[in-house]
Every structure is written in structure tokens, then in C-alpha cells.
Amino acid sequence: MTENHTGDNLYSNTLSEPSKIDFKTSSNTQQYNSDKSKTQNQSNFSILSKIPEQEIIKIIQKGFQLNQEGKISLKKYYESKQEHSLFQSKGYKIKYETIRRTKLYQQLKF
């Protein structure tokens, strides 16, 4: 009977131990999803160095032309998927601040 009693104590000690469940899991999951979303959003943008210079020149000129015609703002032209955007015509999305700071952009700006 002593063995059974010892077994009961082990069993009851196990049940009385504090739960080791991490209640921060949902918070951690939200952070992970937020980081994943940021990464996916950033990956939707093209890297300028991977686009040939002649194509970048055409892209910049077209952006200025559409902006001058009042069809789309430059920021929306480069970053959005709406009508008249770079994404609609070429399938690219480029951060406007990135392209705006290039020498080509500054040279072609009128």
C-alpha cells in the first residue's frame, strides 16, 4: 500500500504544478504575422538594380508624363496597382522615395 500511496502523491504533485502553457502565444503569433506581412509587402516592390537602366529611364519619363497629364500622382504611379500605375503597365512596384533619390530621376525631372 505504501507504493500506491507514493504513486498517488506523484500524481497529485503533477496536477498541482503550475501550468507551463505560454499565454503570450497569441501575442507572439500576432508579431510573427505582422513581421511576415511587412516582409511580404516589401517583397512586392522591385529592386531598381535589377531593372535595366534604359527601362528605368522609360519608366521615369512615363511617370512624369502621366503626372503632368493629371492622370496619377507620382507616388501612386510607382507604388500602387491602380489604373495608369507602373504596376499596370510593367508589373513593377517601386518605392517612390527610392527612385526619387536616383541620379536618373534628378536628371530627367522637368
Per-residue pLDDT reduced to its tens digit, 11-28: 544 555 554 544 444 444
Residue 76 DSSP code: H
**48 confidence band (pLDDT: 50, 70, 90):** confident
Residue 67: φ, ψ to 5°: -70, -40
* pLDDT at residue number 46: 81
Higher confidence at residue 81 or residue 14?
Answer: 81
**59 confidence band (pLDDT: 50, 70, 90):** very high
Q: Say how many C-beta atoms besides its own lie within 10 A of residue 63's C-beta.
A: 25
